[in-house]
Chain A
Amino acid sequence: MFDAHAVALGPHGMLAVNVAMLSIIGWALWRAEQKLSFGSDWIALSMLGVFAIAGRVLLDPIPNVQPVTVIVLLAGIHFGATRSIALATAVALGSNLIMGHGLWSFYQAIGWSAVGIAGALLADRLYVDGRLALPALAGVAAISAFAFDWIVSLSALHSLSADVFLVYLMAGIPYDLLHAVGNVAFVAWLANSLSDIMTRHVAIPTAMVVNDVATNRV
């Protein structure tokens, strides 16, 4: 019998395959997005969600480097808090259905939602005159990495006592640092492109429909 799947890839080979797959997904989504009509905010959000989930799953071999935090932050800036929370929660659940779902999913959803809310609150400072303020965004993305990781670490309180929690947080600092630097890289390389996509699909407020007909005219 032939065993067509007997090729054993090392960790670097697997990472190369994953990066290639993520590139294909990103390119295909980008091409598909160009054919969308302006203002397709929910479709654009769904596509960003697919890219975020794929990015988190496929970049898993690199510890704590993934694009979700930056995508959610940008969604908060462009789409507002509510939709960034929807995106954050869906990405946490969707990626964890592959990577492992549990109590931590809830804390991840809260953590990324907090990042989205921060993006919405800081939108006026991070998106100025139709352009992203990249240095400021990189700074917020780096801080978001620590904030997200520490919120997720709260889940450890279910099994650890409060007095060792600080030690637990301290032990994770190298991983937080990697998350922060990864976020800066995603901001530097992807933020402007993602921002352009989001800007095209921010829903333009529709005209208010007047339900009551004026009965008196001057």
Chain B
Amino acid sequence: MSELIGLAVLLILLSLVVASSFEEENRLKALSVAWVVFLLLTFSTIATEWARMTAVLVNQEDDPHYGLPDLWDGKQVVCLHFPERNVPAGFDDGRHHIDYDGTDFMTDVEWNETGACIGGFSGFENGWDLLDAAINATGDDFAVTTTSYSFGLMIDSIAGVDPSTMAGEFNGAYWSLYHNGALSMVGIADLELDPDSVVTWRVDTW
């Protein structure tokens, strides 16, 4: 939004400069060229910002993208859901939606889990590669620690949230992996992705 306002201000200033630099006879020609060039140069930014502003959440419950912004249709997404008492600072007000470039553009306060979904990715075939890209896109917010076992890679903590340290009315807790809404039968390093996969991590207990 702030980028759109900045571009609008820039366009107004550009128009004033161009309009004052040309005689009335050629003013419309000069202005129209300036506007077309300006829009073409900034179109990618304008289209992206506008798409984020006007995004709506997918409301079909049988869609793996249910509850996610529609601008991620056909794209790959990683969701990180944290237990109620262990939500990283700044992510406890609902589910944040963060685009592939790290822009946090929408928060769904109605969602029954807290955390973040990082999406808009494409072309990833392996679960670990997608998770790595999503973590990198958000800087240090969701740093992951892992342990490598003979049977595969185990996620120990996400954003400092380590289920093995949690206490409650359960025997143990762990980061559980879901692919398109279903519990994954393979680990993240062996997970083969679809072009529009939704990979979800949440803490489960036993």
Interface residues of A (CB under 8 A from B): 62-63, 65, 134-135, 138, 164, 167, 170-171, 173-175, 177-178, 181-182, 184-185, 187-189
Pair A174/B43 contact, Cβ less than 8 Å: yes
Q: List 6 A-B contacts (CB under 8 A).
A: A65-B36, A138-B32, A167-B56, A167-B70, A178-B40, A178-B43
Pair B51/A189 contact, Cβ less than 8 Å: no
**A138-B28, A164-B56, A171-B54 as given contacts; A178 in contact with B33, CB under 8 Å:** no
Closest to A167 in B: B56
Q: How far is the CA of A175 from the CA of B40 in the complex (A)?
A: 10
B39 in the interface (beta carbon within 8 A): yes
Q: Mark B10-39, 1 if CB is under 8 A from A, else 0.
A: 000000000000000000110111011001
Q: When the two chains form the complex, which single residue of B32, B50, B51, B70 contacts A185, counting CB atoms closer than 8 Å?
A: B32
Pair A134/B43 contact, Cβ less than 8 Å: no
- Chain B residues positioned under 8 Å from A182 (CB to CB): 36
Pair A184/B43 contact, Cβ less than 8 Å: no
Minimum distance in angstroms from A177 CB to a CB of chain B: 7
- Chain A residues positioned under 8 Å from B54 (CB to CB): 167, 170-171, 173
Minimum distance in angstroms from A216 CB to a CB of chain B: 61
Interface residues on B, range: 10 to 19
Pair A174/B36 contact, Cβ less than 8 Å: no
Pair B28/A171 contact, Cβ less than 8 Å: no
**A164-B56, A167-B54, A181-B39 as given contacts; A174 in contact with B47, CB under 8 Å:** yes
- Chain A residues positioned under 8 Å from B33 (CB to CB): 185, 188
B32-83 contacts to A (CB < 8 Å) = 32-33, 35-36, 39-40, 43, 46-47, 50-51, 54, 56, 70
Q: When the two chains form the complex, which single residue of A62, A171, A175, A188 contacts B32, counting CB atoms closer than 8 Å?
A: A188
- Chain B residues positioned under 8 Å from A185 (CB to CB): 32-33, 35-36
Pair B50/A188 contact, Cβ less than 8 Å: no
Q: How far is the CA of A39 from the CA of B61 in the complex (A)?
A: 63
Pair A173/B50 contact, Cβ less than 8 Å: yes
Pair A184/B46 contact, Cβ less than 8 Å: no
Q: When the two chains form the complex, which single residue of A135, A170, A175 contacts B28, counting CB atoms closer than 8 Å?
A: A135
- Chain B residues positioned under 8 Å from A138 (CB to CB): 28, 32
Q: How far is the CA of A85 from the CA of B46 in the complex (A)?
A: 34
Q: How far is the CA of A170 from the CA of B36 in the complex (A)?
A: 21
Minimum distance in angstroms from B69 CB to a CB of chain A: 11
Q: How far is the CA of A138 from the CA of B32 in the complex (A)?
A: 10
- Chain A residues positioned under 8 Å from B47 (CB to CB): 174-175
Minimum distance in angstroms from B72 CB to a CB of chain A: 13
- Chain B residues positioned under 8 Å from A177 (CB to CB): 39, 46
- Chain A residues positioned under 8 Å from B51 (CB to CB): 171
Pair A181/B50 contact, Cβ less than 8 Å: no
- Chain A residues positioned under 8 Å from B35 (CB to CB): 181, 184-185
